[in-house]
Structure 1
Amino acid sequence: MASQEIERLASALARLPGLGPRSARRAVLWLVKHRERALPELVEALAGVRENLSECPQCGNVDTHSPCGICADPRRDPRSLCVVEEVSDLWALDRARLFTGRYHVLGGRLSALEGVRPEDLNITGLLARVEEGGIDEVVLAMNATLEGQTTAHYLAERLEAFPVRVTQLAHGLPVGGELDYLDEGTLAQALRARRPV
């Protein structure tokens, strides 16, 4: 039986996405074993984030600077804007280093079942950025779910009023994917998006 403090730490870590109670206990045991080096670094990093974390007023990213590092980067193409559902999607796309424009985080996706309506998302901010001018293309990088595609369709309709090109990420066969292992939705999308060879 661990002390109350250790149990409290394990319980706090278990609430993180991707960590269950067992993984949290393993992480705590590792931290305890390497406490001289790992604990001070972890405490310092958490304190730094807690004191300096803010949401970027331009794109909705989270960073320790305002505006965030992406919005402040002069090498970014201000004419291209990639719209994502969540900050995690922004980070995933930016990690690939394939998109050189700027981003806009909606803060979720439309969902009738969860009661998420357009006014619950940062759509007004997106429309204001596009209306401001200087944007040639809006890339809708929604997840390939029913809610994601509903959100993309809604945004495309709202963006029709502006002189911008609206594009969407391609969906279909993943690289290295085998047809036998793919679900029907992925196969259907791949067939609909087929192109000449």
Structure 2
Amino acid sequence: MGFYPKAIERLVTELGKLPGIGEKTAQRLAFHLIDAPAEEIEGLSNALLNVKDKIRLCPECFSITDGDRCDVCADPNRNRRVICVVQSTKDIFAIEKTREYNGLYHVLHGVISPLEGIGPQDIKAKELLLRIGENDIEEVIMATNPTPEGEATAMYLGNLISPLGVKVTRLAKGIPIGADVEYIDEITLIKAFEGRNTI
């Protein structure tokens, strides 16, 4: 940049580190913050510091929480015999919006990706196996993303869990609601045929 005062340059640089924020958006945000009242800036600053200070991982499922346990693990009405395995906490929020699932979760914090040097030891796989062994779990639902890494992770974990006598299932894949078949890619169509149901 070079033509902004150093304080603004630093603010634009820091804002630009956020996901989805390009240089132009970072500049707009910086100038918005410059014009904002001091109490608004203080509120934002306090919220950022507070979230960094208070948010931690739930010791049971490894989702995020600001309490001793996350709301799902602390809820006595949840089905404690089913665990849905997800890649990140964001996946939990997406599933919870459906109001269809009433079991527990386990957040892996990633997927196995040999090309990136990420193995089973780098995700919460061992913790999942311990959790299954210590509890009366009947079903584990693999809800990793349908990417090669997500599929490989689901397959790897499924192969470790099945011998424990626990049912392992995978979220269905196929044609999204409202889509036209002619525009669906081949792999999605193949998965849709494999996962077809009786009507």
Q: Report if TM-score (shorter chain) is over 0.5.
A: yes
Q: Which residue of 1 aligns with 2:19?
A: 17
Identity of aligned residues (%): 38
1:37 to partner: Cα distance: 5.0
Higher mean C-alpha displacement, 164-173 vs 26-35: 26-35
Partner of 2:40: 38
Q: Aligned partner of 2:116: which letter?
A: E
Amino acid at match of 1:46: L
Aligned twin of 2:170: 168
Aligned position for 1:51:
53
Equivalent position of 1:99 in the other structure: 101
Q: CA RMSD in A?
A: 1.7
Q: Determine the C-alpha separation between the residues in 2 that align with 1:29 and 1:123.
A: 44
Partner of 1:125: 127
Moved more, 2-11 or 165-174: 2-11
Q: Which of the numbers 127, 135, 138 marks the counterpart of 1:136?
A: 138
2:68 aligns to what?
66
The runs of 5 or more residues in structure 2 that have no matched partner are none
Code of the aligned partner of 1:101 = G
Match of 1:180 in 2: 182
Q: Tell me the secondary structure at the aligned position of residue 151 of structure 1.
A: helix
**Counterpart amino acid of 2:132?**
V
Amino acid of the residue matched to residue 139 of structure 2? Answer: E
Q: Scaled by the length of structure 1, what TM-score is found?
A: 0.91
Deviations 1:88-142 (A, max 9, x none): 2223222333222111011111112112111221111001111112222111001
Q: Is the 8 A contact 1:56 1:68 kept in 2?
A: yes
Of 77, 96, 110 in structure 1, the residue corresponding to residue 79 of structure 2 is: 77
1:111-122 equivalences in 2 (<5 Å): 111-122=113-124
Shift of 1:36: 4.0
> Structure 1 residues 35 and 179 mapped into 2: Cα distance closer, same or farther (>3 Å)?
farther
Cα distance in 2 for residues equivalent to 1:62 and 1:103: 12
- For residues 23-62 of structure 1, the C-alpha deviation after alignment (integer angstroms, 9 at most, x for no partner) is 2222222333333453222112112112212111111112
Identify the residue that residue 147 of structure 1 maps to in structure 2: 149
SS in structure 2 at match of 1:82: strand
| Contact 1:54 1:66 (C-alpha < 8 Å) held by counterparts | no
